[in-house]
Amino acid sequence: MEEQNGRIADVYVAKMPRKIGAGRIFPTARAAEIAECQSDKVKRQKYYAWRLLGYALQQTFGYAIERIDICKSKNGKWTTPHCYFSLSHSENAVAVAVSDRAIGVDVERVNAEKAAFLQTVLTAQEREEIAVLTDETERVEYLFKRWTQKESFFKRTGDGAFRPSKIAVDGELVATKKLSIEGEEYMLSVAVENAANTRYVLDVDLTE
């Protein structure tokens, strides 16, 4: 993809294939980590998130994932000195954000049953905002919008403990989209400097 205004922030989203593929994962330490997952569902999600990362690095920067250094930091986060990236997965969707500056991404399937819990993560200002919403669908979407914004905002830095009720999201640093994947609604948020200029590829095919 062409560079925009000298800065790069790209988000890729894909529907996960039903079965885990047989492609190789690099580095081998990440492949081993995925293989050790006890849940087949989580293993599939992590596998395809990493496959999508490889695709994103190639498309945005021209990097072949098997030829660059990627390692796990002391805080358990996978990083590379060549760029910044962030991963997310939820049910049948995976998302990857890549950038030349700190970035975070989060995708979540909208689930009304989880809405009651999400009300506990709101700031005082956000509780006032949702109080004026009378339509239940709007309330649920508001909660998932705020949740994904807080998640992506935290992932952008990864500092300290995640306390969502303490995170007041800066609108200039976060952009949110509502997506439909296999007939289900998802909320996607990205946190990065000048988030409004983020570029999206929303239909990557990960079929092997």
Our CA dihedral for 107, 190, 98, 35, rounded to 10 degrees, sits at -20
* Residue reference for tokens 């205004």: 5
In this model, does residue 4 exceed pLDDT 50? no
Beta-bridge mates of residue 54: none
Domains and their CATH numbers in the chain? 9-198 (3.90.470.20)
Q: Which amino acid is at 159?
A: D
pLDDT tens digits, 157-199? 877 789 999 999 888 899 999 999 999 999 999 999 999 999 9
Q: Span 54-59, mean pLDDT?
A: 98
Residue among 122, 97, 118 at smallest CA distance from 190: 97
Q: Which amino acid is at 168?
A: A
Q: CB within 8 A of 90, min separation 6: which ones?
A: 107, 108, 109, 186
Q: CB within 8 A of 21, min separation 6: which ones?
A: 47, 48, 51, 206, 208
The SS3 call for residue 116 is helix
Q: Residue 2 in contact with residue 88, Cβ under 8 Å?
A: no
pTM of the predicted structure, to 2 decimals: 0.94
In whole angstroms, give the CA distance from residue 107 to residue 89: 6
Within its chain, how far is the Cα of 27 from the centroid? 21
Ranges of H-type helices in the chain: 28-35, 40-61, 115-118, 124-131, 136-157
Residue among 44, 135, 128, 127 at smallest CA distance from 92: 44
pLDDT tens digits, 60-106? 999 999 999 999 988 889 999 999 999 999 999 999 999 999 999 99
